[in-house]
């Protein structure tokens, strides 16, 4: 079996402390790369593009997509005005990520969407977000942990009949680094896991074989050799292998 080619969307940052003034850098946490490699895939980092035809060509060359975490999403994209609690946003990245996920969905590419990626997945198909968890009634769990990033900090309650249930059963321990969350779920998706205070922690498509969003960071826990989190990446890589549209031997 050929190893599937997995695209991972990058972030864009400005590095001030370099020999080049205001150097713009496409960046990605290495844990995403290592998790794809550990689970049997070949990672490709995707730079932020603005031309939809080029983005489509990117996706056509891939067997699966990991949507990585990052900064907040522009609330205008889900018809809300910015809250004072909103963090930094980058509209160019929002537009790229939205185009990327919509094209990948259209082309039936398996998608594993992580943290911000999970939120982008929801917004792309008509869902909304809490701009800050303090706006959500009944939210009492600390969702931005203050311990090592690979440590589990709260419990995941998983719904039967989901991809996550098939991997882990009805519960798992996860890490947590977010101040936003899904508010209204996008049509065509279902919630597959909650935290104990009912924050939506995972969703999946009702129409596609493997389109999964998770609010936590399995790639970090995988980097800490968490075998449970590795199983999620292995399931994604397996789906991407089955979906392979290219003969990579050529």
Under 8 Å between Cβ of 117 and 97 = yes
Closest CA to 105 of 115, 95, 114, 97: 97
pLDDT tier, 24 (very low <50, low <70, confident <90, very high otherwise): confident
pLDDT tier, 250 (very low <50, low <70, confident <90, very high otherwise): very low
pLDDT surpassing 60 at residue 56: yes
DSSP E strands, the chain: 5-9, 11-15, 23-27, 42-46, 64-67, 111-114, 129-130, 154-158, 171-174, 181-182, 189-194, 200-205, 211-214
Percent of the chain beyond pLDDT 70? 87
Under 8 Å between Cβ of 219 and 236 = no
155 against 167, higher pLDDT = 167
User: What pLDDT digit, counting tens, does each position of 101-124 carry?
Assistant: 999 999 999 999 999 999 999 999
Closest CA to 201 of 186, 217, 188, 187: 217
70 against 205, higher pLDDT = 205
**Which tokens go with 213?**
């969003």
Which of 21-30, 48-57, 84-93, 101-110 shows the lowest per-residue confidence on average (mean pLDDT)?
A: 21-30
Catalytic residue among 53, 217, 234, 248: 217
User: What pLDDT digit, counting tens, does each position of 169-218 carry?
Assistant: 999 888 876 688 999 999 999 999 998 888 899 999 999 999 999 999 99
Under 8 Å between Cβ of 42 and 230 = no
pLDDT surpassing 90 at residue 19: no
pLDDT recorded at residue 13: 74
Is 217 one of the catalytic residues? yes
Is 139 one of the catalytic residues? no
Under 8 Å between Cβ of 163 and 150 = no
Catalytic residue among 115, 118, 154, 204: 115
Catalytic residue among 118, 154, 178, 219: 219
Closest CA to 10 of 69, 82, 83: 69
pLDDT recorded at residue 247: 44
**Which tokens go with 98?**
């939205």
Pairing of strands 181-182, 129-130: antiparallel
pLDDT recorded at residue 41: 98
User: What pLDDT digit, counting tens, does each position of 144-161 carry?
Assistant: 655 655 656 578 899 999
Under 8 Å between Cβ of 171 and 156 = yes
Is 219 one of the catalytic residues? yes
pLDDT recorded at residue 248: 47
pLDDT recorded at residue 18: 55
Domains and CATH numbers, the chain: 5-242 (3.40.50.880)
pLDDT recorded at residue 154: 74
Residue-level length of the chain: 250
Cα(143)–Cα(168) distance, integer angstroms: 21
* pTM of structure: 0.91
């Amino acid at each position: 079996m050929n190893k599937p080619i997995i695209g991972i969307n990058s972030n864009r940052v400005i590095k001030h402390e370099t020999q080049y003034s205001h150097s713009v850098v496409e960046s990605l946490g290495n844990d995403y790369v290592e998790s794809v490699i550990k689970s049997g895939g070949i990672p490709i980092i995707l730079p932020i593009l603005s031309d939809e035809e080029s983005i489509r060509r990117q996706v056509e060359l891939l067997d699966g997509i990991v949507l990585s975490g990052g900064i907040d999403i522009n609330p205008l994209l889900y018809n809300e005005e910015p809250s004072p609690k909103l963090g930094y946003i980058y509209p160019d990245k929002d537009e790229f990520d939205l185009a990327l996920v919509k094209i990948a969905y259209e082309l039936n590419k398996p998608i594993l969407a992580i943290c911000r990626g999970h939120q982008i997945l929801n917004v792309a198909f008509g869902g909304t977000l809490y701009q800050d968890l303090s706006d959500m009634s009944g939210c009492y769990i600390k969702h931005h942990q203050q311990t090592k990033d690979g440590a589990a900090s709260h419990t995941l309650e998983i719904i039967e009949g989901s991809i996550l249930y098939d991997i882990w059963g009805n519960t798992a321990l996860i890490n947590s680094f977010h101040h936003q969350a899904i508010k209204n779920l996008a049509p065509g998706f279902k919630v597959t896991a909650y935290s104990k205070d009912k924050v939506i922690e995972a969703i999946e498509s009702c129409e596609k074989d493997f389109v999964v969003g998770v609010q936590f960071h399995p790639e970090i826990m995988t980097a800490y050799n968490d075998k449970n989190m590795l199983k999620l990446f292995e399931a994604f890589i397996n789906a991407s292998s089955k979906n392979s549209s290219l003969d990579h031997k050529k």
